[in-house]
Structure 1
Amino acid sequence: MSSGEIERESGKMDGRPWPWLDTSLPFLGMVLAVTALATNMIISKMAMSSGTSFFILSLYSNALATLIVFPFAFFFHRSKRPPMTFPVIWRIFLLAVFGYLAEIGSYAGINYSSPTLSTAMLNLVPAFTYILAVIFRMEEVHLGRFSTISKSVGTVVSIAGAFVVTLYKGPAILNKPLIAGSPIQLLLSSQQNWILGGILLAGASFLTSSWCILQASILKMYPAEMMIVAFYCLFVTIQSATGSLIAERDLTAWRIEADMGLVAIFYSAIVNIAFRLYVTAWCLSRTGPLFVSMFKPLTIVIAVVIGVIFFKDVLYLGSVAGALVLIIGFYMVMWGKAKEGEMNKDPESSINTSPLLLQDEPEQV
């Protein structure tokens, strides 16, 4: 059992006040993380539509995030900081490769299509993550158990619900649809190449799943979330600088003149990279990759809510119905994980596993 698990278990035994925070905080953290991601998709699309290169957007955002995170990381882990060894360094570098390729693929996919298609393709992340987690023995599969059946069926149901939100409209139940479309809809739907965008976004989803699996294993070796995020941002900055030098030969592309471009850079650096990556790493260390990936389909629901509230987009019956189906699937997975947690706490259990969402191989921090 890792030190983090021992501290959490000892806290429960010592009668720590508000023990429900141990399970509630990861849930709240991931809701905030996917909200940051959905908002970043919309802002980034608006910036790219105004002429900002997604290569330059990635470079400047990660460079600014590196400058922000590094001082906080050394201050946050000043008392006890594990030694940064070469095995940890090269794994973080590989993590940065996955993250940079996923980020560029996502930006390019949004540029060719729309944030709606991007959030729809994120529905593939839980399926990819579940398969990889089973392959790397981060998730147990016992076909005769209701917990495994609930996790598997819930994953499929949640993905189906998110696709319902994307593909089925139904009658409008809030705001009136405009024949010509709202300015934001016109902005986000111009010059679309859905096939190429879909391929790029599907590849980004697989890389995101691989990113979750790899980071979970790194957190086992190096239990310092902020330091991992700091070095991750540094490596992504180096990689994005190399990619930008190759892709953007015109020096004018390196100048950010549009106001929306500056907004996108600062929002992406502070909220989408620094804040979201730390929260995601924190949740990964306490729950596991499947729990984190299950929140990806919620991104499209949050994107719909943001559109309805701030851009006066039309709320359709399909969005509400799909959201309900998605929530049902999500809770099926959570129920299966909770049942596994109960079995793991049973001393008579024939399988020696860790507490809720933390499997024996690999052990989570």
Structure 2
Amino acid sequence: MGGAIKSFIEKALPFAAMVFVECGEVGMITLGKAAMNVGLSSLVYVVYYNALGTVILLPGFILHTSRNNRPSLTLSVLCKIFGLGFLGICLLQVSAYTGIGYSSPTLAAALGNLIPAFTFLLAVIFRLEKFNIKKATSRAKALGTIVAITGAFVMTFYQGPPLFNMNRNHNSHENLLSFSSQNSKWVLGGFLIAITALCSSSWNVFQTATVKEFPDQVTVVFLFCLFGTIQTAIITVILERNTNVWILDKRTEFISIVFAAVFGAAIRSSVITWCLRKKGPVYVSMFKPISVVIAVVMGIMFLGDVLHLGSVIGSVIIALGVYTVLWGQSREQKRVVDNENTPLLQS
């Protein structure tokens, strides 16, 4: 009986943890969108919440540095972490929240499913992943990548008619102008979020190489957040000429920044690291399509978003592509494990 309960907890806890992470990520995006709707600049939002995240990480970094003999920081490692900050915060987060400002959290969550596909492409390009067209698993991953990217194009360029839209304007001319303006912003937002997915995939590959060279995760994360905050702050000062954008005078702005700093900097990384250690990257990646459903529900409930047909069709296509890629990866991993265990069984 005790063994059965322990087995259930071991299976249920990682599942609950990943659902929690996806809910938190979509909540962070939704709150950020709400703050931008009331006037908060996307650049200022990224600077403030990463600055607060750096402050939250500082005590842990100081304790870690005093208690552990970490490897020495070389100029090469510092330059790579500096690059991680520029790629992961300046490009990735600024593009993400600017794109969300033009579109919706639903589109951001759906296009986030492109990350496994882009990661696979980059891994093949940099020869981190073996690709053999004769193998069914390689063909599945290639097909899944193409399908996922096709779904992203559908979501970006085909918004489609609204579903369950209760608000109807009888002035057809105003409706046409409004739709044209919204559609152009939607395409721009989708393009920026697609860039975000590509940046995220590149950052994953870059970060993996950096951590292998400098195996001190606490130091890397803290300096990455610090460097990225400084870089984004400098860019924001240059681009945002109006100093009033730095003034926070609405409750939604404070809540969104604090939640993003606490969840993004402290909780999310710890939970995902634990799940990766317990279940592996394939298991963690499988939960990404769930964020689409969560984003749709939160967007309709809290932002008054309208669900469009293009979002539904594109989400389904992307999910099919992602699961095809994950199926190919899981089959290859199973084959590797079987090959490693076969000599032991024979002996």
Give the TM-score taking structure 2 as reference length.
Answer: 0.74
C-alpha distance in 2 between matches for 1:229 and 1:22: 29
Secondary structure of the equivalent of 2:98?
A: helix
Q: Is the 8 A contact 1:38 1:302 kept in 2?
A: yes
Structure 1 residue corresponding to 2:43, chosen from 55, 63, 70: 55
Q: Are 1:134 and 2:124 an aligned pair?
A: yes
Distance 1:239 1:284 in 2: 30
Equivalent residue in structure 2 for 1:261, among 229, 253, 258: 253
One-letter code aligned to 2:93: E
Structure 1 residues 348, 216: CA separation in 2 closer, same or farther (over 3 Å shift)?
A: closer
Are the counterparts in 1 of residues 30 and 299 from structure 2 also a CA contact under 8 Å? no
Q: Does the aligned pair in 2 maintain the 1:113–1:192 contact within 8 Å?
A: no
AA in 2 matched with 1:38:
V
Paired letter, 2:255: V
Aligned to 2:168, the other structure's residue is in SS state: coil
Distance 1:202 1:345, change over 3 A: closer
How many angstroms does 1:62 deviate by?
0.7
Alignment match, 1:153:
143
Structure 1 residue 118, shift from structure 2 partner: 3.2
What secondary structure does 2:50 align onto? helix
Correspondence 1:108 to 2:89: no
The code of the aligned residue for 1:275 comes to I
* Cα deviation digits, residues 173-229 of structure 1 (max 9, x gap): xx773336xxxxx9xx97963344343333222212111111122232334433322
Answer yes or no: is 1:67 the counterpart of 2:59: no
Note closer, same or farther for the CA distance 1:282–1:165 as it changes in structure 2 (3 Å cut): farther
CA distance in 1 between partners of 2:11 and 2:141 (Å): 21
Contact 2:53 2:225 in 1 (8 A): yes
Q: Does 1:242 align with 2:234?
A: yes
Displacement after TM superposition at 1:24 (Å): 7.6
Structure with the largest fraction of helix: 2
> Does 1:177 pair with 2:166?
yes
Structure 1's 237 and 314: CA in aligned 2 closer, same or farther, altered over 3 A? closer
Give, in whole Å, the separation in 2 of the partners of 1:41 and 1:194. Answer: 16
| Correspondences of 1:302-341 after superposition (within 5 Å) | 302-308=294-300, 327-341=319-333
Quote the Cα distance in structure 2 between the aligned partners of 1:22 and 1:83: 36
2:290 matched to 1:301? no
Distance 1:248 1:307, change over 3 A: closer
Return the letter of the residue paired with 1:299.
S
Q: CA deviation at 1:31?
A: 4.3
Which residue, out of 172, 192, 198, partners 1:206?
Answer: 198
Is the contact between residue 171 and residue 316 of structure 1 (CA under 8 Å) also seen in structure 2?
yes
Kindly indicate whether residue 111 of structure 2 is the aligned counterpart of residue 125 of structure 1. no
- In structure 2, the partner of 1:6 is none
Judged with a 3 Å threshold, the aligned counterparts in structure 2 of structure 1 residues 278 and 191 are, in CA distance, closer, same or farther, namely farther
CA distance in structure 1 between the aligned counterparts of 2:283 and 2:132, rounded to whole angstroms: 18
Sequence identity (%): 37
Match of 1:96 in 2: 85
| SS of residue matched to 2:71 | coil
> Which one is further off, 71-80 or 206-215?
71-80
Q: 1:226 aligned to 218, 235, 246, which one? A: 218
Letter in 1 for 2:293: V
More displaced, 65-74 or 221-230? 221-230
Any idea what the Cα deviations from partners look like across 1:71-124, whole Å, max 9, x if unmatched? 234546875453242233222211111012111112222223333443444344
CA drift of 1:269 comes to 0.9
Over the aligned positions, Cα root-mean-square deviation in angstroms equals 4.0
Change (3 A) 1:92 1:338: same
* Structure 1 partner of 2:174: none
1:105–1:204: 8 Å Cα contact kept in structure 2?
A: yes
Query: Relative to structure 2, which stretch is displaced further, 79-88 or 242-251?
Result: 79-88
The verdict on how the C-alpha distance between 1:313 and 1:237 changes in structure 2, with shifts beyond 3 A counting, is: closer
Deviations 1:215-252 (A, max 9, x none): 12223233443332222111111112211221223222
User: SS where residue 334 of structure 2 aligns?
Assistant: helix
Structure 1: state its 5+ residue gaps.
1-16, 181-185, 351-365
Aligned residues: 324
- Give me the whole-angstrom Cα distance separating, in 2, the residues matched to 1:20 and 1:73: 32
Specify the code of the residue in structure 2 equivalent to 1:141.
F
**Structure 1 Cα separation of the partners of residues 331 and 227 of structure 2:** 39
What CA deviation, in whole Å up to 9, does each residue of 1:242-268 have, x standing for no partner? 112212232222111111111111111
2:30 paired residue among 32, 35, 42: 42
